[in-house]
Structure 1
Amino acid sequence: MLAAQFQGVAQFGANVAFGVGVVAGAGAIAAGVGAGHRWYARRPVPEGLAVLAGVSVVALALSTTTALDVVIERDAAVDGEAALANVTLFALAAGVSLVCGRLGDRIALAVVEEDLTEVGRIVRSVGRNITVTLPEEVADVEGHDPLPPELTAQLAGKSLSFPRGLTVDELRSRLVTRLKADYGVGSVDVELTPEGDVEYLALGSRVAGLGPTLAPGSAGVAVRADPAFTASPGDAVQVWTDDPPSLVTTAELRATAGDVVTLALDAADAASLDASTRYRLVTLPATARSDREFAALLRAADETLGVVTVGPDSPLRDLAVGDLAGSVVAVAGEAGVTAVPHRDRPLAAGETAYVVARPDVLRRLDAAANGQGTPPLRDRATADD
């Protein structure tokens, strides 16, 4: 009698331990599904998916299919207590799976947000690709010639695909590079939301021609001359007359076409050249030209040069140049021009700042200089590193 009671208690304890283990396993699986879904899709796991993953553990543990086969083969009545226990076990597993799925999602969300704080915000996407749709209205970049109307119409509303897992800055860089490489766009001003949607887009054609590369106070003049056969753009030359031999001016060679030569020189010396006179050119030794090197690098870079004047009510007043996004290469004021100012130098009302930055940063700086927006700032800690 006692042995039978003891055996019954032991069996009951084993059944309870088995049920607790199965429910705990279901909760662990649901938590893993919730965390994995948050990490991969950047979205909360559907509750039905977590519950399905949890109760599948119960189904496997109870060997439901095998139990039904045994009952059918023996043609025996179903044990009511066993059926009730199984249904209860499924219900408990479903409830625990629901709670654990949410818990795993919360834990993964905390880890993902911590990672995003350290390495930058990841663009939220579902699937293996990020689809970026350009707006229907495309503006023109100030200071650049507009794109051909047919190219603007082709890009308006166009969808472009990029690999997932990119930060907003990386996606912006990929988008700018693709527009320039695939469609021949010269300048891109774009703003993206944290979801990777294009909030603002302005495009401009490539900077071409002689004018954009001429320094202030200089001019380009075409004359008839005899340049050396190895002469190339950028060479420094002296311009001489033949009869009598006389030095007219010193200039920079920009282009040649037969006996017609384009020279870049001071605007005051341009008037001394006569279109009907044939000149002789003497090539000078190569010297370092920091202005020409800067112009060449700037022309090939994504950044461009902008000029902003600080207004009396501008938030740029008393703001250090090192706090601004972009590079302030010069500041002009009543005391003169300060080239490459110290990063802690504050800006004053009425001063003009020459800034090298992306077009979207220059646009926001210009608005802030007129008191119409918040200036774009840089992360000083990141800059110091």
Structure 2
Amino acid sequence: MTATLLLEAFGAAEPLQSAGSASIKWTRTALLSILGYGLLAGAGALAVAFGYRALTVRKLPAGPAVLVGLALPTGWLTIGAVRQGTVVAESPLLHYTSSVFLLGVVAAGTLAAAGGHRLGDHLACGVFDVRPLERSGPVADLVRSAGLAVAVTLPDTIDDADGYPTVDAARKRELAGRRFLFPSDLSVSELQARLEARIESDFDVGYVCAELDEDGSAVGVAVGDRQVGVSPTLGPDQVAVAIAADPPSRASTGDPVEIWTTGDGQNGFVATGTLRASAGSATTLLVDADDATAFEAGRRYRLTTRPETPSDGHALVSAIRAADETVTVRTVDEGGPLENEFAGWVPGRVLAIERGDEIISLPADREPLEAGNMVYAFGTPVELEAPSSVLEESVNSDIAPEAVSETAE
């Protein structure tokens, strides 16, 4: 009886030892896999943080770095689960061991990705000699207290620059209340120029106008986008038309051309226009609005240069688009600050005055403005938005001392 019990005990011990060795083997395999996937996540976050700092000279937030790092092991496990039906050591997908393994991969990957993010940013700062300055904290307070840096905080409301396309609301919300650090030895004008250049480069804004107090604090900021495309170069009653035609070899952008039909042994004159751009067999022309319907779809045309001297209007329009200045229209109100003033005293440069049916181009400085006139002025938004007090100051500064004395008498 005793011998029978011992034999049964030894027989039962072998399966138990076999189950224990399988459990130990699975645990070892799972731990090694978790470690490997964690290192993969850390390497991915390190590469992303390093590249972002190298390209933008700014620190990548930890959230995107961790997500990119976790995407590598989770993507690898997903592919393995679809192909093989398991994630680790032949464990079924619908089993608690697979769940424990996946939780371990996510936890280890998150920790490794956070560490890889910091290490990658640190390596990029060392390789590219980037010295980040803390925006807040004891170090930043110490730097500001020592007079080494000055902080400029933008207003809570960002305005739209007059005469420029509107910047989307998301970028204006991102700019509102943001603080920038600059060297303390800058004058107010230099600080304003640095602030405007910083906003343009960091936030991809076409135009920035910042107004600073004497102590360097930002009172107002107006932003605008650059005008792109063909529409800013269109004159009154003009349209842009794309046709199939090869431009003449001597024609360039802005040259006047004639459009002729080809084929059927006959050539017919269609219209005149201005060459805007060409790409292959497609050519864009600026023509009068009445001539836009003269073109037929699917037909090929021939262009010839016109026997006249090309005008410099296109070069002028290109220069205006590239500059910070813009053109705005003002109406001279009766009893307003512009009534009975000279054109030369208006802030900016007066290009034309529309007086009823008469248009005065490039008026003389002594041309008086009358109520109801439409004044086309060229200048920066700061000049064109000058209030009446600024206008009076500019007028008084332009009056000769002899005129003042005669008026006083």
Aligned to 1:320: 342
Q: Does the aligned pair in 2 maintain the 1:306–1:362 contact within 8 Å?
A: yes
Per-residue CA deviation, residues 268-306 of structure 1 (Å, 9 max, x unaligned), is: 222222223211122457944232222111111111111
- The residue aligned with 1:132 is 152
Matched residue, 2:91: none
Instruction: Kindly provide the amino acid, as one letter, of the partner of residue 208 in structure 2.
Output: V
Q: CA deviation at 1:259?
A: 2.2
2:297 aligned residue: 275
Describe the superposition over 1:310-339 as per-residue Cα deviations: whole angstroms up to 9, x where unpaired. Answer: 111311111222222211111111361111
* Counterpart for residue 229 of structure 2: 209
CA distance in 1, matches of 2:314, 2:382: 25
Query: Compared with structure 1, are the counterparts of its residues 382 and 155 closer, same or farther at alpha carbon in structure 2 (3 Å cutoff)?
Result: farther
Evaluate the alpha carbon distance shift between residue 335 and residue 236 of structure 1 in structure 2; reply closer, same or farther with a 3 A threshold: closer
1:155 corresponds to which residue? 175
1:378 to 368, 391, 394: 394
Do the aligned partners of 2:344 and 2:365 also contact (CA within 8 Å) in 1?
yes
Structure 1 residues 310 and 171, CA gap change in structure 2 (3 angstroms): farther
Q: Does 1:221 align with 2:241?
A: yes
Distance 1:224 1:288, change over 3 A: closer
| 1:307-366, Cα deviation, whole Å (9 max, x unpaired) | 10011131111122222221111111136111111212221110111111111332346x
Q: Which runs of 5+ in 1 are unaligned?
A: 1-124
1:199 aligns with 2:199: no
Whether the 8 Å contact between 1:332 and 1:353 is mirrored in structure 2 is: yes
Change (3 A) 1:377 1:302: farther
Inter-partner Cα distance in structure 2 for 1:250 and 1:153: 47
- Pair 1:201–1:170, CA change in 2 (3 A): same
Distance 1:237 1:353, change over 3 A: same
Q: Which one-letter code corresponds to 2:180 in the other structure?
A: L
- The equivalent of 2:208 in structure 1 is 188
Match of 2:260 among 240, 261, 274: 240
Give the SS at the match of 1:296: helix
Mark the CA change 1:376 to 1:234 in structure 2 (over 3 Å): closer, same or farther. Answer: farther
- Map of 1:331-346 to 2, 5 A cutoff? 331-334=353-356, 336-346=358-368
Cα distance in 1 between the residues matched to 2:199 and 2:261: 49
Residues 209 and 200 of structure 1, relative CA distance in 2, 3 Å threshold? same
Percent identical pairs in the alignment equals 36
Residue 378 of structure 1 aligns to a residue whose secondary structure is helix
* Aligned residues of 1:320 and 1:347 also touching (Cα < 8 A): yes
Counterparts of residues 277-316 of structure 1 (less than 5 Å): 277-284=299-306, 287-316=309-338
In 2, Cα distance between the equivalents of 1:196 and 1:126? 17
**1:253 maps onto 2:275 in alignment:** yes
Output the amino acid matched with 2:284: T
In the other structure, the counterpart of 1:122 is none
1:157 Cα shift?
1.7
CA contact (8 A) 2:325 2:378 kept: yes
Structure-2 change in CA distance of 1:235 and 1:198 (3 Å)? same
- Structure 2 counterpart of 1:179, from 195, 199, 224: 199
Mind listing any 5+ residue stretches in structure 2 that lack a counterpart? 1-144, 401-409
- Which residue identity is paired with 1:346? P
Letter in 2 for 1:249: A
Distance 1:231 1:342, change over 3 A: closer
Residue aligned with 1:270, SS:
helix
Matched, 1:355 2:377: yes
1:363-374 counterparts in 2 under 5 A? 363-364=385-386
Q: Deviations over 1:38-82 (max 9, x none)?
A: xxxxxxxxxxxxxxxxxxxxxxxxxxxxxxxxxxxxxxxxxxxxx
Partner SS state of residue 147, structure 2: coil
Q: Structure 2: which amino acid aligns with 1:378? A: S
8 Å CA contact 2:163–2:381 kept in 1: the answer is no
Q: TM (normalized to structure 2)?
A: 0.55
CA shift at 1:205, angstroms?
Answer: 1.4
Letter in 1 for 2:174: Q
How much has 1:241 moved relative to structure 2?
Answer: 0.4
Structure 1 segment 55-204 matched on structure 2, within 5 A: 127-164=147-184, 166-204=186-224
User: How far apart are residue 376 of structure 1 and its match?
Assistant: 7.1
Q: Distance in 2 between matches of 1:350 and 1:325?
A: 18
Rounded Cα–Cα distance in structure 2 between residues aligned with 1:333 and 1:358? 24
- CA distance, structure 2, for counterparts of residue 167 and residue 318 of structure 1: 38
Corresponding residue for residue 98 of structure 2: none
RMSD over aligned CA atoms reads 3.1
Distance 1:219 1:176, change over 3 A: same
Residues in 1 aligned to 2:371 and 2:223: alpha-carbon distance in whole angstroms: 31
Aligned-partner residue type, residue 285 of structure 2: L
Change over 3 Å in CA distance of 1:356–1:143 after alignment to 2: closer
Distance 1:290 1:204 in 2: 27
Contact 1:241–1:279 under 8 Å retained in 2: yes
